[in-house]
């Protein structure tokens, strides 16, 4: 339930006859119950590839690891894997696999000392299937012990305590050569209200990624009845996503290739049908096959989501690598953005918060919440603020062009490029000495931090 008392504090002070100034910012923040942004996890851990469809059994010897495994299992990067959790450590695992087949990956914890630990592992090895990989979590921090683990073919050793992102990154590393590692990155764009410019931004950013990085981008217009990608990019009529929904069994690479409309080098678009002859009721996993296929074939997948709150929209958001939320600086936008950010924090606890774009800022005579106050209330600094410039956006829209293709105002095109680089650019390589690299590698392998 939203407490509407905060309304009073976000009205334009001039309209309310109150003194203007920055004092509204803390007020909004307090009324909206702004909590400090949770500390995002290191980017390196979050850059792990999604774990493919493998079966994982985890045997936890401690209550702490039960919590860690449960949190890891709920993470978006593990959405495809099947993880089952067992209480009890190595001994319990050995007992089970005397009778049952092993999964692809076994995660086993032991709190035993080194000799007892190795003896337990030897007993487990007798009953393990040859193809099963073993990720071991223990409390022993000795190089000799680590060597013994390697000699026994243990795939990875993590020194307790570990965090959920560390566990996910370790699992991901083990399967890093698989299909998942080759998947493209997904960027989901959603407006916190209709008409805030989310689609325009998604299209321009997609175009900018393709141009700047000379790397393939697929834009998927997921606003089935009203999508504007075809219009904004001046594309010939294409049924795009309708065929995907009509013929789910036929969705394969060739089929998808036929549906994509090319818009210049490196930029392909899967358009929305944008017709109203039939209603579009999509199930939660309705887009999953086509999105997975598109990700396998392109390094960058831009998803232009409609302003809706259905199970498939939620699923698409939660599983995306990056999320860009667009808002205009008014009260309804602030309320909606706050709810969306809170939902995403809870659904993606190990990820950084979404990126915020404040759009259509500075409409003449429109009372607005100042960007600083908006950001403070939300607990997220905008990645960019885009001014309201109807001439530029109108000209681009009416001519089926991107802003970068028509605008003399390089500022706005640069803004889109900034979003593109922030999301799709490679992180700056960290400078390290050779010794530092070797030490880093070792601690990474052994799980020591």
Ligand X SMILES: Nc1ncnc2c1ncn2[C@@H]1O[C@H](COP(=O)(O)OP(=O)(O)O)[C@@H](O)[C@H]1O
Spatial neighbors of 100 by CB under 8 A, at least 6 apart, are: none
SS3 374: helix
- Residue 121 or 222: which CB sits closer to ligand X? 222
Dihedral sign (CA 244, 227, 395, 399): positive
- Residue 196 or 210: which CB sits closer to ligand X? 196
- Residue 46 or 307: which CB sits closer to ligand X? 307
Residue 363 beta carbon to ligand X: minimum distance, rounded to whole angstroms = 8
* Assigned token pair, 272: 């929305």
Residue 332 beta carbon to ligand X: minimum distance, rounded to whole angstroms = 13
Position 199 contacts Mg ion (CB under 5 A) = yes
Residue 412 beta carbon to ligand X: minimum distance, rounded to whole angstroms = 7
The one segment of 148-156, 163-171, 196-204, 256-264 that binds Mg ion by CB under 5 A = 196-204
Position 204 contacts Mg ion (CB under 5 A) = no
**Number of neighbours of residue 296 by Cβ within 10 angstroms:** 15
| Partner whose binding site includes residue 197, from Mg ion, ligand X, none (CB under 5 to 8 Å by kind) | ligand X
CB 174 within 8 A of CB 155: yes
Residue 249 beta carbon to ligand X: minimum distance, rounded to whole angstroms = 31
What are the phi and psi torsion angles at 105 (to 5°)?
A: -135, 130
Spatial neighbors of 340 by CB under 8 A, at least 6 apart, are: 190, 192, 325, 354
- Residue 72 or 378: which CB sits closer to ligand X? 378
SS3 333: helix
- Residue 172 or 199: which CB sits closer to Mg ion? 199
CB 413 within 8 A of CB 368: no
Residue 397 beta carbon to ligand X: minimum distance, rounded to whole angstroms = 4
| Partner whose binding site includes residue 112, from ligand X, Mg ion, none (CB under 5 to 8 Å by kind) | none
- Residue 251 or 417: which CB sits closer to ligand X? 417
DSSP H or E segment with residue 387:
strand 384-387
Residue 357 beta carbon to Mg ion: minimum distance, rounded to whole angstroms = 13
Residue 10 beta carbon to ligand X: minimum distance, rounded to whole angstroms = 21
Using CA atoms, how far apart are residues 256 and 34, in angstroms rounded to an integer? 44
Residue 52 beta carbon to Mg ion: minimum distance, rounded to whole angstroms = 32
Residue 303 beta carbon to Mg ion: minimum distance, rounded to whole angstroms = 11
Binding site for ligand X (CB under 6 A): 191, 194-200, 228, 307, 359-360, 386, 388-390, 393, 397
* Assigned token pair, 234: 């001046």
| Partner whose binding site includes residue 389, from Mg ion, ligand X, none (CB under 5 to 8 Å by kind) | ligand X
- Residue 66 or 363: which CB sits closer to ligand X? 363
- Residue 179 or 231: which CB sits closer to Mg ion? 231
Position 132 contacts Mg ion (CB under 5 A) = no
| Partner whose binding site includes residue 360, from ligand X, Mg ion, none (CB under 5 to 8 Å by kind) | ligand X
How far CA 441 is from CA of 41, 123, 447, in Å, comes to 19, 30, 10
- Residue 199 or 359: which CB sits closer to Mg ion? 199
Using CA atoms, how far apart are residues 1 and 3, in angstroms rounded to an integer? 6
| Residue 397 C-alpha from the chain's centroid | 29
CB 238 within 8 A of CB 189: no
The one segment of 103-111, 113-121, 139-147, 194-202 that binds Mg ion by CB under 5 A = 194-202
Q: 138 forms bridges with which residues in the sheet?
A: 110, 159
| Partner whose binding site includes residue 393, from Mg ion, ligand X, none (CB under 5 to 8 Å by kind) | ligand X
Torsion angle defined by CA atoms of residues 254, 260, 265 and 267, in that order, rounded to the nearest 10 degrees: -120
Using CA atoms, how far apart are residues 95 and 56, in angstroms rounded to an integer? 17
The pairing of strands 267-270 and 185-191 is unpaired
Residue with smallest beta-carbon separation from Mg ion: 199
Place of tokens 């603020």: 385
- Residue 191 or 404: which CB sits closer to Mg ion? 191
| Partner whose binding site includes residue 196, from ligand X, Mg ion, none (CB under 5 to 8 Å by kind) | ligand X
How many residues at the interface with Mg ion, by CB under 5 A? 1
Using CA atoms, how far apart are residues 56 and 94, in angstroms rounded to an integer? 15
Residue 272 beta carbon to Mg ion: minimum distance, rounded to whole angstroms = 10
| Partner whose binding site includes residue 390, from Mg ion, ligand X, none (CB under 5 to 8 Å by kind) | ligand X
- Residue 111 or 418: which CB sits closer to ligand X? 418
| Residue 24 C-alpha from the chain's centroid | 32
161 preceded by a cis bond (ω within 30 of 0)? yes
Residue 79 beta carbon to ligand X: minimum distance, rounded to whole angstroms = 26
Binding site for Mg ion (CB under 5 A): 199
């Amino acid at each position: 339930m939203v407490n509407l008392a905060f309304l009073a504090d976000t009205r334009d002070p001039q309209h309310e006859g109150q003194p203007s100034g920055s004092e509204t910012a803390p007020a909004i923040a307090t009324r909206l119950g702004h909590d400090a942004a949770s500390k995002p996890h290191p980017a390196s851990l979050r850059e792990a590839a999604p774990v493919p469809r493998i079966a994982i059994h985890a045997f936890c010897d401690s209550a702490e690891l039960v919590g860690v495994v449960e949190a890891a299992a709920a993470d978006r990067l593990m959405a495809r894997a099947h993880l089952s959790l067992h209480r009890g450590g190595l001994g319990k695992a050995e007992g089970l696999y005397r009778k049952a087949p092993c999964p692809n990956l076994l995660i086993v914890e032991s709190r035993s000392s080194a000799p007892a630990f190795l003896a337990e592992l030897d007993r487990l090895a007798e009953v393990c299937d040859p193809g099963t990989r073993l990720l071991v979590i223990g409390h022993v921090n000795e190089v000799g012990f680590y060597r013994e683990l390697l000699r026994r073919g243990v795939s990875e050793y993590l020194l307790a305590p570990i965090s959920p992102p560390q566990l996910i990154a370790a699992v991901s590393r083990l399967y890093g050569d698989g299909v998942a590692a080759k998947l493209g990155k997904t960027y989901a764009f959603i407006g916190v209200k209709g008409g805030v410019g989310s689609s325009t931004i998604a299209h321009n950013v997609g175009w900018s990624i393709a141009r700047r990085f000379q790397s393939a981008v697929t834009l998927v217009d997921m606003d089935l009845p009203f999508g504007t990608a075809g219009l904004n990019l001046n594309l010939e009529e294409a049924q795009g996503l309708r065929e995907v929904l009509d013929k789910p069994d036929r969705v394969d690479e060739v089929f998808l290739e036929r549906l994509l409309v090319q818009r210049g080098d490196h930029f392909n678009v899967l358009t929305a049908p944008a017709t109203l002859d039939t209603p579009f009721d999509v199930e939660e996993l309705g887009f999953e096959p086509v999105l997975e296929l598109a990700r396998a074939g392109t390094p960058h997948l831009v998803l232009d989501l409609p302003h809706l709150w259905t199970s498939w929209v939620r699923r698409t958001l939660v599983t995306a690598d990056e999320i860009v939320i667009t808002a205009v600086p008014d009260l309804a936008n602030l309320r909606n953005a706050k709810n969306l950010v809170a939902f995403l924090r809870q659904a993606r606890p190990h990820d950084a918060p979404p990126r915020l774009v404040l759009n259509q800022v500075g409409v003449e005579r429109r009372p607005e919440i100042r960007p600083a106050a908006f950001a403070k209330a939300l607990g997220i600094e905008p990645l960019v603020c885009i001014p309201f410039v109807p001439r530029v956006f109108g000209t681009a829209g009416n001519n089926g062009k991107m802003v970068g293709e028509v605008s003399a105002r390089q500022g706005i095109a640069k803004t889109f490029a900034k979003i593109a680089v922030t999301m799709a650019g490679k992180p700056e390589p960290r400078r390290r000495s050779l010794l530092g690299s070797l030490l880093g590698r070792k601690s990474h392998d052994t799980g020591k931090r």
